């Protein structure tokens, strides 16, 4: 899967190839240490320098091509002939951009929103069920005639799951701008998808494969992807019963996924990967749990990050209660503060799994 990040692929390969890499590394290390004034290492080109070239190539491609697509949003790119009246991609109303700062430079990512979708947006820490096609292009000029060759390096017409924190950065930034659709299970066991988000993204190489390349992707090549976001799956990376989308950053901050993930206890593990977010020695999962009785049986539940708008009278607990803060009511017989309703609903509360001073037992 070409869109999976290089770092992720390397981690998968390390165990099986460790011995080979070690031997080869020792071999080359030995010779690299020999005195040789002519020896030089092949270094990556500067990101800023490559970005200037990539941006020019992408804009030129968009200026000289138009798209057509069918009812299933299968997109075709065609070069505009001399004198042609087709609308170039660069002048389409559906074209938009986002800016992201990486490698100490600001990238502009162009994308076409052919259909937004009708469901929810995935976040950068969720999984998406995506079908896509990726290609690279190059310009050639013969007898003063310029043409563009498109080379497809991967085509997945049937959707597959991707974790958006394990793909190339361009994907992680663009896919969340689209919404998932809905699906219907057919009697024959197949599934049909409707109202999914569909688009095109133009990714500078610095947010894709940069110098690594492959047989089908040249180094420093910008890439183009058409894609459809069929559905999504919310993730809980550390399995602490809190969705990663709420732990990555302040949920009230619409721009939180453009920033570094929050690490409440400063232990080097962001909250969405940390089983003890506040470093108090108690598992987050245990700090947000509560017990209730149903049918004469004592059960364990977990407070949601946000409580429901209204209580469901059929449940044996208050559905409007979210993860509480440290209780603030009068002291009880155990000399512990008792809970108040506001402890579960105050929008500005510091939830107790993020408060090092709030430790079980809570009552």
pLDDT at position 281 is: 96
The single residue listed with the structure tokens 């498109």 is: 150
The pLDDT of 336-343, averaged and rounded, is 95
**Of 24-38, 57-71, 94-108, 215-229, minimum mean pLDDT range:** 24-38
The pLDDT of 340-355, averaged and rounded, is 96
pLDDT at position 286 is: 96
pLDDT at position 321 is: 97
Q: Using 50, 70 and 90 to split pLDDT, how confident is the model at 183?
A: confident
Q: Which residue has the higher pLDDT, 176 or 1?
A: 176
The predicted model scores a pTM of 0.83
User: Domain boundaries in the chain?
Assistant: 6-13+43-233, 266-363
With H, G, I as helix, E, B as strand and everything else as coil, classify residue 273.
helix
Whose CA is closest to 247, among 123, 142, 158?
Answer: 123
The pLDDT of 316-329, averaged and rounded, is 96
Structure confidence by residue, pLDDT tens digits, 54-87:
999 999 999 999 999 999 999 999 999 999 999 9
User: How much is the mean pLDDT over the chain?
Assistant: 89
Retrieve residue 253's tokens. 């901050």
Does 36 score more than 60 pLDDT?
no
The pLDDT of 248-271, averaged and rounded, is 94
The CATH class that applies to domain 6-13+43-233 reads alpha beta
Stated as kind and residue range, the H or E segment containing 58 is helix 47-64
Phi and psi of 188, rounded to 5°? -85, 5
Q: Using 50, 70 and 90 to split pLDDT, how confident is the model at 178?
A: very high
Q: Using 50, 70 and 90 to split pLDDT, how confident is the model at 2?
A: low
Q: How many helices (H) and strands (E) does the chain have?
A: 6, 12
Stated as kind and residue range, the H or E segment containing 51 is helix 47-64
β-partners of residue 129 are 161, 231
- Distance between CA atoms of 134 and 202, rounded to whole angstroms? 10
pLDDT at position 95 is: 98
Q: Are 130 and 159 in contact (CB under 8 A)?
A: yes
The single residue listed with the structure tokens 């190059």 is: 138
Does 18 score more than 80 pLDDT?
no
């Amino acid at each position: 899967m070409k869109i999976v990040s290089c770092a992720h692929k390397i981690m998968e390969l390390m165990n099986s190839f460790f011995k080979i890499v070690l031997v080869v590394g020792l071999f080359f290390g030995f010779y690299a240490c020999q005195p040789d004034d002519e020896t030089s290492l092949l270094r990556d080109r500067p990101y800023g320098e490559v970005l200037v070239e990539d941006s020019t190539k992408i804009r030129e491609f968009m200026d000289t091509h138009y798209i057509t697509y069918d009812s299933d949003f299968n997109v075709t790119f065609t070069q505009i002939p001399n004198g042609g009246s087709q609308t170039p991609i660069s002048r389409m109303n559906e074209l938009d951009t986002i800016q992201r700062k990486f490698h100490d430079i600001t990238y502009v990512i162009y994308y076409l929103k052919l259909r937004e979708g009708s469901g929810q947006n995935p976040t950068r820490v969720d999984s998406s069920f995506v079908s896509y096609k990726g290609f690279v292009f190059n310009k050639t000029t013969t007898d003063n005639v310029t043409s563009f060759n498109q080379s497809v390096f991967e085509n997945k017409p049937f959707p597959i799951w991707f974790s958006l924190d394990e793909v190339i950065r361009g994907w992680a930034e663009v896919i969340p701008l689209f919404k998932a659709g809905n699906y219907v299970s057919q009697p024959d066991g197949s599934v049909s998808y409707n109202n999914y988000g569909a688009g095109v993204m133009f990714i500078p190489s610095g947010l894709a494969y940069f110098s690594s390349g492959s047989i089908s992707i040249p180094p420093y090549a910008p890439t183009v992807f058409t894609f459809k976001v069929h559905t999504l799956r919310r993730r809980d990376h550390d399995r602490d019963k809190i969705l990663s989308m709420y732990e990555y950053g302040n949920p009230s901050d619409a721009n939180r996924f453009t920033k570094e993930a929050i690490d409440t206890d400063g232990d080097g593990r962001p909250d969405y990967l940390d089983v003890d977010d506040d470093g108090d020695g108690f598992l987050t999962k245990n700090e947000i749990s509560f017990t209730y009785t149903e049918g004469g049986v004592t059960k364990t539940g977990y407070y949601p990050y946000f409580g429901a708008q209204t209580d469901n009278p059929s449940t044996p607990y208050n559905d409007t209660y979210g993860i509480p803060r440290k209780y603030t009511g009068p002291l009880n017989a155990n000399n512990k503060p008792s809970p108040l309703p506001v402890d579960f609903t105050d929008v500005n509360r510091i939830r107790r799994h993020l408060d090092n001073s709030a430790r079980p037992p809570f009552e």
